[in-house]
Amino acid sequence: MRFTHKPFDALTLHELYELMCLRDDVFVVGQKVTSEPEVDGLDPQCVHVIGRDDGGRIVATARLFVHEDPIKVGRVAVARHLQGQGIGSRLMTYVHEVLGERPAAMHAQAHLERWYTRLGWTAVGDVFDEAEIPHRHMVRPGIRP
């Protein structure tokens, strides 16, 4: 598994297509998300984290709004056939490397709250609905050297 990241304008058409297919399979097909468009027009504002398997296929992703303070993390996805194998933890470790010392926030699916907590995130506020799925606002404080 190899991880990289790049801004939207640096993505190749093939990479963009693979990212959209992966997110569609995870969120729309796998989780039946229909109330919020997966292609929401915000991708051009993001740095995209890309996880490739040994065959070079994109199997993990996240998008980072790096110009926001705190940085907003979203669309964290691992290919359905690879979920539960530690790839999400590796993806988030790489996301943390990209974040560096900066604080971050996300809307995490509520059933993943304990997992994100183990990775250093803290839940804030009550559970709320987003795309017809329970979510929690979570934050990661800036890391001081």
Q: Is the pLDDT of residue 117 over 90?
A: yes
Does 58 map to a domain?
yes
Letter for the amino acid at 103? P
10 Å CB burial of residue 106 (0-12, 13-18, 19+) is: buried
Q: What's 87's domain CATH number? A: 3.40.630.30
- Residue 22 and residue 49 in contact, taking contact as beta carbons nearer than 8 Å: no
Does 8 map to a domain?
yes
Residue pLDDT, tens place only, 23-39: 999 998 988 787 677 88
CA nearest neighbour of 14 among 43, 51, 57, 54: 57
Letter for the amino acid at 89? S
* Confidence band for 14, pLDDT divided at 50, 70 and 90: very high
Does 82 map to a domain?
yes
Does 53 map to a domain?
yes
Q: What is the pTM of this model?
A: 0.92
- How confident is the prediction for the chain on average, in pLDDT? 94
Write out the residue range of the structural domain in which residue 43 sits: 2-140
Number of domains in the chain: 1
Q: Is the pLDDT of residue 49 over 80?
A: yes
Does 145 map to a domain?
no
CA nearest neighbour of 93 among 126, 116, 74, 123: 116
* Confidence band for 132, pLDDT divided at 50, 70 and 90: confident
Look at residue 145 in the predicted model and tell me its pLDDT.
54
CA distances from 37 to 23, 109, 116 (A): 11, 17, 24
More confident residue, 142 or 49: 49
For the chain, give the percent of residues with pLDDT over 90.
86
Under DSSP, the state recorded for 21 is H
Does 128 map to a domain?
yes
Segments of the chain assigned E as strands: 2-7, 47-52, 58-65, 71-78, 104-109, 122-130, 133-140
Residue pLDDT, tens place only, 56-90: 999 999 999 999 999 999 999 999 999 999 999 99
Does 117 map to a domain?
yes
| Peptide bond between residue 70 and the one before it cis (omega within 30 degrees of 0) | yes
10 Å CB burial of residue 136 (0-12, 13-18, 19+) is: buried
* Confidence band for 144, pLDDT divided at 50, 70 and 90: low
Does 96 map to a domain?
yes
